[in-house]
Chains A and B, each alone.
Chain A
Amino acid sequence: MKKVLGVMGMVCPFPLVEAKEAISGLSSGDELVIEFDCTQATETIPRWAAEEGHNVTNYEQVGDAAWTITVQKK
């Protein structure tokens, strides 16, 4: 299953706070697509995913100050 979390326009740390909450409702192997535009989250979200042991299956910049990252729950 794939879940999309749109947190465009949210300032840090809300994108990460929302992501943590959203992933807790998923089962192992499910993917969470996070769309965000807060610059600091380009550092905090991948770091959080790596430290939690989740797999990042996609991470790219989609436009000016706009990113998408897909985190697969471990």
Chain B
Amino acid sequence: MVQMIITGLLCGALLGFVMQRGRFCLTGGFRDMYLTKDNRMFYALLIAIAVQSVGVYTLVALEVIQPNTGTLPLFAIILGSFIFGIGIVLAGGCATGTWYRAGEGLIGSWIALAGYMLMSAIMKTGPLSPLNQNIQQSQLPSNSMADTLGINVWFLIALLLAVVGWIIYKEVTKPKVVIPTLKPKKQGLAHILFEKRWHPFVTAVLVGLIAILAWPLSSSTGRIAGLGITTPSANILQFLTTGDMAFINWGVFLVLGILVGSFVAAKASSEFRFRMPDVKTGLTSFTGGNLMGFGASLAGGCSIGNGLVMTALMTWQGWIALIFMILGTWTAVYFVFIRGRKEKNSNSTVQTSVTTA
């Protein structure tokens, strides 16, 4: 139990810290692929997947861990991931993003988190669990891409590495634009940790390494899995309302650790402040949180569980979920940012004040 608390909190805190400092936001990443035609954060995710894939399958080869990829509830994954993608746009961050923004003091993210935990618990052990189980019932037998294709999993990993290598080469050889930065007020390590802008690809490698670390740490406490957000988030609420210790596991401390790590990172960088959203944002966040919980429970994972971990395991579940959560994100982006803006612009103008210099 003590080990579970310490390693869970530690792994979560590392993740929260790195994500806060690296501004590792998958929602923003998926959104900007469509909205601003910027794929950098998606590329960063692919890097994190590749790093984790090599690490995890090395651990499997060394017989440190034996992950079970299970069967494939295809329809539930497609439907759930699409709904999850819509939810993260409304909530202003994916599940992990919402946890770390809560650590930055954004009350809107606390509201989204409440909706997310509530709906996840309702879907897992509450009144919607029969519906959830029904949709998940139609299963395809194999989830492993390597098994279906009848090849060694390392061929798939090599393919991913080749794609990622090519992307990094293209990005690094692009003509550089000088991005204005804040005047440094700190020096040395403090500057790097609490001030400097982190390159998304560096952040991605760190996220991948933490995702590898999660496997042995979690497995040694009996939870044979890597990073996971949705089930542990629901577990917190389930434990708090039933007192049943069976809901307490490594993942619970992982998600709490994200909050702590992000708070430390934000506080030390003078980026922590409690911020209350307006009523409309608050309501949208709550709706988004509920959609996230509904979708992630149905799909058996969020942008981390499916998008980062199941993809690295080279499962159909991971990659199909990733595609459909991106499509869900784009659908919501169309309605919120593209159509929504057109309507707004015809009704009112942006509040600005003009002064002559």
Contacts and interface: CB of A to CB of B under 8 A. Distances in A.
Interface of A: 1-6, 9, 11-13, 17-18, 21-22, 31, 37, 39-40, 42-44, 46-51, 56, 59-61, 63-67, 69
A51 B275 contact: no
A13 B278 contact: no
B357 A1 contact: yes
Contacts of A18: 350
B148 interface: no
B352 A22 contact: yes
A1 B353 CA distance: 11
Interface residues of B, number: 42
A7 to B, nearest CB: 9
Interface of B: 20, 23, 25, 28, 31-32, 35-36, 92, 104-106, 108, 177-183, 197, 266, 270-273, 275-278, 281, 337, 341, 345, 350-357
A52 B356 CA distance: 24
Contact of B270 (A50, A59, A61): A61
Most buried by A among B23, B180, B182, B183: B180
A2 B273 contact: no
Given A46-B179, A60-B182, A65 B354 contact: no
Secondary structure class of chain A's binding surface, majority of residues: mixed
A1 B197 CA distance: 31
A3 B273 contact: no
Contacts of B281: 11
A59 B273 contact: no
A40 B26 CA distance: 12
B275 A40 contact: no
Nearest to A30: B357
Nearest to A47: B179
A13 B28 contact: yes
A37 B337 CA distance: 20
